[in-house]
Chains A and B, each alone.
Chain A
């Protein structure tokens, strides 16, 4: 029987080609994800290695639970593994005096803006620009050229940064450091042992850095380098016995370098794990869509060979043996596909690496293919193929021996009743679950103990699968409507094409099903993105009432600039919103790291117009706090509850006076600027935004010119009108969307391959029929047009159903996340229409090859085909 199976593959290899390709694409994605994950992990490990080279570290004991990552924007100084208080920088001297310690270097670093040779800021995508203290004979940095910077007007640059800045040693340039613009000379080029993953790094005189980044004399940690032959643990013991013993109240801890590096790696790997999971979701979609191609291929091949299987059965083969014949083919398809897919995955990662390196991010090492990755990929590809072929194989196995005697293969289409029933049931369950999730999330008195998330997931899944099951049932009617214009306009080809797509609704539906899933996701993303854009811009438009909003690309508007703006004669108000990392606690919440916003209470109603859900923002003037609704919901807090904010400096207990759903105040907690100043002590506040109102009667353009003149030296600071701000935010949503679209594109591409596959196979299946209509006078071009119409109908069918499902699901998702920023449902009709139009184009493209094949069939041989 094995021979029968393999002969068939050899004889009809081409038929399986696209199935193999589908497996290849899906598996390549999976393999690529795993390899990339391993590579990123390697890369970041070596970055950790080279940036944390100390033999031991002194730091304070973590004050918050070690449960992972801060919710706020990652603060480069905070590090991982829970928030820690700063420690006194002078401890470095004490540590240095300990026996066995060679050097003790406090960790001081902070943001910097470097102006490159071309006059623009040196930035590398989203990667940060950091300035670090460089010591003489710094053990972590290799001084490639020049001298260690001395004094406030010298800097060093890391090799990569030097490269991308276009500067050379000895050049002078401008930097923004600690809110001030400075002229500096580049005096050093430093390098780390491993690539820097795109961050732009600069080096400062250690004292200058300490003054700038540790004004309160506190640093995150002190790196300790031992003398040769002193082990890491001995070093830790020595420090514990001396420094720690001398400061029993300082809450210090000493850890070995290996421990700290392992901690950092672990935290980074967690993030990489998230990225991997995110990519794997798309990989599974691609594989799922690919499975449709396999199912279709095997269903058609089984149909064509029905007589052959009947003959085998008549000759005494058992159903199990026939089943095995088909599954063996599926096994071969899966194995070959996943083997090539694995190799393609390696190539894919190499490509990604090359692209990343063009953007200044170098990944280390070869693409590592572990035995685990290899086995997993081969297993997944083969399993998907086997599962996808199981139903057609069962059909082959159940062929009655008597079929062999029949003259023509009877086209026994099983009734669709079961599918209709199961589909309708699933759809119903899906709709119900979705309804529950929406109801739960919008209920005033929330949670009957239910979380909306899982229900939404179940609902969306059931709706999708239900629609897949139902699609052959609705195919006839829908295709009839969709085909009407073709039937009317292109006689008689439209009718022929309609007949072809409607004759086997099951096949048309499963061909379109793959596209349906891809398009449902595309449509859902489009609607959600439009809603996010619309919601954000709606809020931005209502909230930002200032004539101008001053922002910085580094999220830190220099203090100098803020003062200069406020001092302008034509400026009536300059309200600065600042942020600071704090520890938040309150009823039922242990101290948790978060970000707090400080705002001048008088800004509300003037430069900011913020609607409260409850309470009043005026209470900020009385020292109360405002909560964001997401925090209020998460922690279960209400107006009148007392919450506590703590920093290194002090601790404040505030009453909740307002709850908002604001875009401008997007941190958990907002407090008055005075309270923030109290929390921060001597450290400067980080100004994220300044709302500027002009004096009445000053033309906006003039005010704009004045602002531009002030902020121009800071390079990364911009003054935007409300409209410009809206556009900028919309752009950011679009950028995020591009990545998602790119990932979804793969499943759409596979779905298109599915259409090519089905068309090509149905051309083979219909060879005689094609010969016949060619014999009665259908021209080649006409035949091609017929196939193109079929393809377009299939593509549009899948897309229309997918878009309807996608829009419906997106609407549900929108409702569930209404209070997390998706306040408006926006359905971008023009884009949805464009998607459908695009699918028609896709249909035409998919038909090219099958149409050429069909029109090349020699008429006579086609008719004679058995």
Chain B
């Protein structure tokens, strides 16, 4: 597929072998007059071995979508499948186990357990699952992230960028099927953000990971293979291998479309 100058409303084109997919996914918070429809029937397939970015205005349902797809939240209706398993009907216990083994997370902030060292934080999911640490993988991840000399430090002794990189390492070290990152660079300056995003992209390209991230920053989104645009709980368009300018353009178009809608 080529580049689009403006977001194109696409019917979901089923990728050959999606790592995660959602069908008719809805999420309603509250009930009655105050009900908030955070997701209104989202169909999406997230490609295996791809870096996917999700963009959209504040309150458009990005975080909600991530949470539902990661088994952190239960959707109101619709199905979610991760790596061949239907997770939307799983019990809490199964979900906990899924998170432990198949899914990695990076949050916007507050990613690390303050009492553990960087190394201990990185191996935490493995320790919890009582899986032996794959030394080779660990070393690869560490060297890719350039964290070798920071492993014995506690989170409080690390910079924000370093903390996010440790969080990324933690998400990746257990070889999860998919990594979800909700605004992983939201708190970072552009240089630190670049480091983290560069790493995420490399983990896709070099390690074969599948990564989904939410971002507000077109520059960050330009690291992605594919950018999905969300508005009012629905997917309104997508771009493939976009440049920063394409994304800006698409966002502007989205904004105009909404203003017209409003008027």
Contact = CB atoms under 8 A, between A and B. Distances in A.
Interface of A: 407-408, 411, 491-492, 495-496, 499-500, 502-503, 768-769, 772-780, 782, 859-860, 863
B263 interface: no
B115 A496 contact: yes
Contacts of A500: 115
A778 B116 CA distance: 15
B113 A496 contact: yes
B67 interface: yes
B100 A777 contact: yes
Centre residue among A496, A503, A777 by max chain B CB count within 10 A:
A777
Interface stretch (B4-12, B122-130, B200-208): B122-130
A782 B124 CA distance: 13
B125 A776 contact: yes
A777 B113 contact: no
Given A499-B115, A773-B124, A776-B100, 16 more contacts: A408-B110, A492-B123, A492-B124, A492-B127, A492-B128, A499-B113, A500-B115, A502-B115, A769-B110, A772-B110, A776-B170, A777-B99, A777-B100, A779-B100, A860-B72, A860-B73
B96 interface: yes
- Closest A-B pairs by Cβ, 7 of them: A777-B100, A499-B115, A492-B127, A777-B99, A776-B125, A503-B115, A779-B96
A775 B72 contact: yes
Contacts of B72: 775, 859-860
Interface string B81-111: 0000000000011001101110001010111
A310 B54 CA distance: 37
Nearest to A861: B73
A862 to B, nearest CB: 10
A769 B113 contact: yes
A495 B100 CA distance: 18
A411 B115 contact: no
Interface residues of B, number: 31
B128 A768 contact: no
Nearest to B117: A499
Interface of B: 67, 72-73, 92-93, 96-97, 99-101, 105, 107, 109-116, 120, 123-125, 127-130, 156, 170, 187
A499 B96 contact: no
Given A495-B120, A772-B107, A778 B128 contact: yes
Contacts of A773: 113, 124, 128
A769 B114 contact: yes
B129 A777 contact: yes
A777 B123 CA distance: 12
B116 A495 contact: yes
Contact of A776 (B67, B93, B105): B105
Contacts of A776: 99-100, 105, 124-125, 128, 170
B156 A411 contact: yes
A4 to B, nearest CB: 27
B59 to A, nearest CB: 14
Given A499-B116, A768-B110, A776-B125, A491 B130 contact: yes
25 contacts: A407-B187, A491-B130, A492-B124, A492-B127, A492-B128, A495-B127, A496-B113, A496-B116, A499-B113, A499-B116, A502-B115, A503-B114, A769-B110, A769-B113, A772-B111, A773-B113, A773-B128, A774-B96, A775-B72, A776-B170, A777-B99, A777-B125, A780-B92, A860-B67, A860-B72
Given A776-B124, A777-B96, A863 B107 contact: yes
B127 A775 contact: no
Contacts of A502: 115
Contacts of B113: 496, 499, 769, 772-773
A778 B107 CA distance: 17
Nearest to B72: A860
B156 A779 contact: no
Nearest to A491: B127
A775 B99 contact: yes
B96 to A, nearest CB: 5
Contacts of A782: 128
A145 B115 CA distance: 80
B114 to A, nearest CB: 7
A249 B166 CA distance: 103
